[in-house]
Structure 1
Amino acid sequence: MTVQLELWHLITLLLMFLGFCFAAGKLLVSQFERQIDVRFDAQAVRLAEIEKANKDDSSHWQRVERELMGLKAELPISYVRRDDYIRGQSVLEAKLDGLATKIENAQLRGLFARQGAAE
């Protein structure tokens, strides 16, 4: 049994083989493209989620900054420095000492007046 191939048979077989290779390559490329598209879509969804999270974080940080500015505005009203407190206490103590001296003087005058009246 002998098989005879003519040139046009070989050319036809070669063209069929090349056509098969081209179709298989095209199928592989289309599958790769589909997978890449799916990955890009997933990346786009993730990126959108990250952007939304960033916007939420940004709004939270803006709220924190506003609260901090409010605290900075309230702080001088409700906070007394140590030096100011000591100065205020010194003034009060000096006034109390002056009042105590006046009371002692009044008591001594009353005591001397009683002793002078008793004699």
Structure 2
Amino acid sequence: MTNLISLAGLFLGALWALLKVIGLQAEKRANEKFEALHVSIGKLGDDLRREADAARQLETSFLRFQAELPRDYVRRDDFVQAVGGINTRIDNFALRMERALDNNRRGEHL
């Protein structure tokens, strides 16, 4: 009878030790997974910060573009206006020359 109780105690002790080892291994694996998750989340945070910085730089560039666009457009508009004035003067000069040549052909002098 004592042998049976001793054998049952040994079996329960071995079972307890086996469960303890299995529990420690499961805890170790869970800790490794949480550590890997922590590292991944840290990398994700760094990536998000870089993306936010890139978005801020893009927004700044766009705002600069918006500020420069009207100035460049006005310059372009002034250029078109100046070229239009020059073209008008050239056309007027050409008309005066044609009239003068027509008058010369007809024998009229200025």
Specify if TM > 0.5.
Answer: yes
The reply to whether residue 54 of structure 1 matches residue 48 of structure 2 is yes
Residues in 2 aligned to 1:16 and 1:67: alpha-carbon distance in whole angstroms: 76
Please state whether the residue corresponding to 1:112 is helix, strand or coil: coil
Residues in 1 aligned to 2:83 and 2:30: alpha-carbon distance in whole angstroms: 76
Q: CA RMSD in A?
A: 2.8
Give 1:112's aligned residue: 109
Residues in 2 aligned to 1:18 and 1:92: alpha-carbon distance in whole angstroms: 108
Aligned residue identity for 1:52: D
Residue from 31, 35, 50 that aligns with 2:25: 31
Residue from 71, 81, 94 that aligns with 1:100: 94
Deviations 1:3-61 (A, max 9, x none): xxxx2321221121011101111111101101210121121012111101110121011
The reply to whether residue 12 of structure 1 matches residue 14 of structure 2 is no
Larger radius of gyration: 1
Residue from 48, 63, 71 that aligns with 2:57: 63
Residues in 1 aligned to 2:84 and 2:59: alpha-carbon distance in whole angstroms: 38
Residues in 2 aligned to 1:22 and 1:64: alpha-carbon distance in whole angstroms: 62
Give 1:78's aligned residue: 72
Aligned residue identity for 2:94: A
Please state whether the residue corresponding to 2:41 is helix, strand or coil: helix
Residues in 2 aligned to 1:26 and 1:88: alpha-carbon distance in whole angstroms: 91
Runs of 4+ in 1 over 6 A off after TM superposition: none
Sequence identity, in percent? 23
TM-score if structure 1 supplies the norm length?
0.68
Instruction: Kindly indicate whether structure 1 or structure 2 has the higher relative contact order, using CA contacts under 8 Å at least 6 residues apart.
Output: 2
Q: CA deviation at 1:77?
A: 2.0
Please state whether the residue corresponding to 1:29 is helix, strand or coil: helix
Residues in 2 aligned to 1:23 and 1:100: alpha-carbon distance in whole angstroms: 111
